A and B are shown apart, each in its own frame.
Chain A
Amino acid sequence: QQQVKQSPQSLIVQKGGISIINCAYENTAFDYFPWYQQFPGKGPALLIAIRPDVSEKKEGRFTISFNKSAKQFSLHIMDSQPGDSATYFCAASKGSGATNKLIFGTGTLLAVQP
């Protein structure tokens, strides 16, 4: 049973464009939703995270939009750059802890073309 579903599997965006990656979850007990960025040969790195008491969080060019009723959240990358080319994973956990067990999505491979 896949508790966190992520789409699309891959995405090609032109430099300067907006990249949008979507995730949906099933377990309403989830209360922490991070996004991780992974470059080839490296471990995932925390990018940005949100809790369900807010509908949007922005950090620089990265924004999470959260829809609690639809059980969906998305990552928007504004002004996408070639250096943003990586695999992005959404994740979820429960227990109000950013350091609890994470359930990851299957990942989105983003390619930003110059």
Chain B
Amino acid sequence: DTGVSQDPRHKITKRGQNVTFRCDPISEHNRLYWYRQTLGQGPEFLTYFQNEAQLEKSRLLSDRFSAERPKGSFSTLEIQRTEQGDSAMYLCASSATGGYGYTFGSGTRLTVV
């Protein structure tokens, strides 16, 4: 499978717990993006990397959120001290610089109870 892979597909966690999601982009893609999508809304930009460098972060990405892409390949998104408002679909996408657009993964659905 040469698509964008996200793990886990679903995560249920208790409020206050930490969670970590993983994204494996298409191997030749140097850009990687994280978006968040709530029910009935379009995806909202969180952050993106070019290779291992995090080039932009949204104001939506509070201090409780951190993303890494240590070797310019896979990426992780961690949410600390989860809140009910963090419940959403977290989408990862990748692209090649100068390419025609993104390829999204199927997302990780987070439910905070």
Contact = CB atoms under 8 A, between A and B. Distances in A.
Interface in A85-101: 89, 91, 97-99, 101
B43 A104 contact: yes
* Residue of A43, A91, A105 contacting most chain B CB atoms (<10 Å): A43
A114 interface: no
User: Which range holds the interface residue count of chain A?
Assistant: 20 to 34
B42 A99 contact: no
B40 A106 contact: yes
Contacts of B44: 104
Interface in B66-106: 91, 93, 95-106
A106 B38 CA distance: 10
A101 B97 CA distance: 12
Contacts of A4: 42
User: Which range holds the interface residue count of chain B?
Assistant: 20 to 34
Interface string A44-87: 11100100000000000000000000000000000000000000
Contacts of B41: 106-107
Interface in B10-49: 31, 33, 40-45, 48
A107 B31 contact: no
A41 B10 CA distance: 11
A98 B101 contact: yes
Given A41-B106, A43-B91, A43-B93, A104 B101 contact: no
A13 interface: no
A103 interface: yes
Contact of B96 (A34, A44, A89, A99): A99
Interface of A: 4, 6, 34, 36, 41-46, 49, 89, 91, 97-99, 101-107
